[in-house]
Structure 1
């Protein structure tokens, strides 16, 4: 698909089925949202769109005017092909530390058409993102509104017998498409890079096309 790179510029609730140890909770300094459909208080974050001149230091912007979305990513990351995705960037040395975006057609007009946020996030993490041998844990989920468009951003860890990854995902619906941005890293590095990658997840924005 054609894409246009942009210019560079210098409370949690309980909700799920997997449990974590106290060491894990201390390591992440946050509580897991248990994977299951229990009571959940969503975090609603009305946010102003990030203007080009407000791009943080050490980040670069990517804008795809053709496919209708934009986000920022660490300026030392490089472009790469990620199968099935429209755009992707990765750390030059830690390839598992990356961001990627994909979209699929949809008849839905808004994320709320998919159902309650907690159910949508649970089904994605449990049944789409997690492989059969992985244990998923959701740590946080938030809704924000930018220019009248709704975005869900959530944090989750996928644990397998030999490897664990941690990620933020941001999803949105617009332009007749269902967009997904995922930015993640090896779970062992997560505490060091979490805040840096949250900036990427929160920057995702739809453009009208």
Structure 2
């Protein structure tokens, strides 16, 4: 694993309005990348479409049936951390761990989402969009990719951005960028981890976060989620 301790802090309005050479961003990517705090993302605890249930991934808690159907899934081959459950989507090609006391909910435009039973701002979401890229290295240098993504896509106007950590890892021939960032406005601040990867002709994004007042308490817990994200061959 290669890691960077680079820390960046600024107001999003001070970033030059340059063309993003790493993503060739369009409207669909902007919608795919925005954190749950954005007004463009609508999440609820009810399911809107019946077919959404049918394509839900197989949870590790399904027991022997899961192990029989998907014996080669890397996530299932590992020992599950205490107080986490595994979410595996063999149809859309990704997997991750989530806190066992969280519950699934429907988040518009996302393929899967879980949240704390009592603190809804503590949640994770996964979504993906088509891409012609083959690997995240095709997007450009890690610091440029992450800086542009957070400042241009995640941050709303007049929010201050801090990116204290960026990391790269490689597993099973797949490359991932995981990074921590905080978005601060006049009356609110939230911190997140995000992991991005490219596989199967898709650009995958997992974001997990919490209110900044609780971040120090839950940071390590949520880092497990971000580090567990994997893309699977489909």
TM value normalised by structure 1 = 0.78
Matches of 2:131 and 2:214 in 1, distance apart?
35
2:219 to 181, 189, 194: 194
Deviation at 1:14, TM superposition (A): 3.5
For residue 138 of structure 1, the aligned residue among 147, 163, 166 is 163
> What are the equivalent positions in structure 2 for 1:150-161 lying under 5 Å apart?
150-161=175-186
Alignment partners' CA distance in 2, 1:82 and 1:160: 23
Q: CA deviation at 1:189?
A: 0.2
Q: Normalized per residue, which structure has more helix?
A: 2
Contact 1:12 1:139 in 2 (8 A): no
The one-character-per-residue Cα deviations of 1:83-142 (angstroms, maximum 9, x if unpaired) are 111000000000000010000000000001000000000001000100112111001000
Q: In the alignment, which of 78, 83, 90 is matched to residue 65 of structure 1?
A: 90
Q: Secondary structure at the match of 1:184?
A: strand
Tell me the distance in 2 between the aligned counterparts of 1:67 and 1:14: 33
Runs of 4+ in 1 over 2 A off after TM superposition: 11-19, 49-53
Do the aligned partners of 2:75 and 2:96 also contact (CA within 8 Å) in 1? no
Q: Does the Cα contact within 8 Å between 1:157 and 1:165 map onto a contact in 2? A: yes
Change (3 A) 1:134 1:125: same
Q: Would you say 1:176 and 2:201 are equivalent positions?
A: yes
After TM superposition, the structure 1 stretch with the greater mean CA deviation from structure 2, 170-179 or 129-138, is: 129-138
Give the count of matched residue pairs: 172
Distance (Å, rounded) in 2 between the aligned partners of 1:149 and 1:68: 12
CA distance in 1, matches of 2:89, 2:165: 28
Residue matched to 1:16: 8
How far did 1:53 drift? 4.7
- Counterpart for residue 85 of structure 1: 110
1:13, distance to aligned residue in structure 2 (A): 3.3
For 2:7 and 2:136, how far apart are their aligned partners in 1?
20
CA RMSD of aligned residues (A): 1.8
Tell me what 2:42 maps to.
none
Residue pair 2:6, 2:163 contacting (<8 A) in 1 also: no
Task: Name the CA shift for 1:106/1:191 in 2 (closer, same or farther; >3 Å).
Answer: same
5+ long unaligned stretches in structure 1: 1-10, 20-34, 37-48
Q: Name structure 2 gaps, 5 residues minimum.
A: 17-73
TM-score by length of 2: 0.70
Q: For 1:40-76, what per-residue CA distance to the aligned partner results, in whole angstroms no more than 9, with x for missing partners? A: xxxxxxxxx6544511111001001110000010000
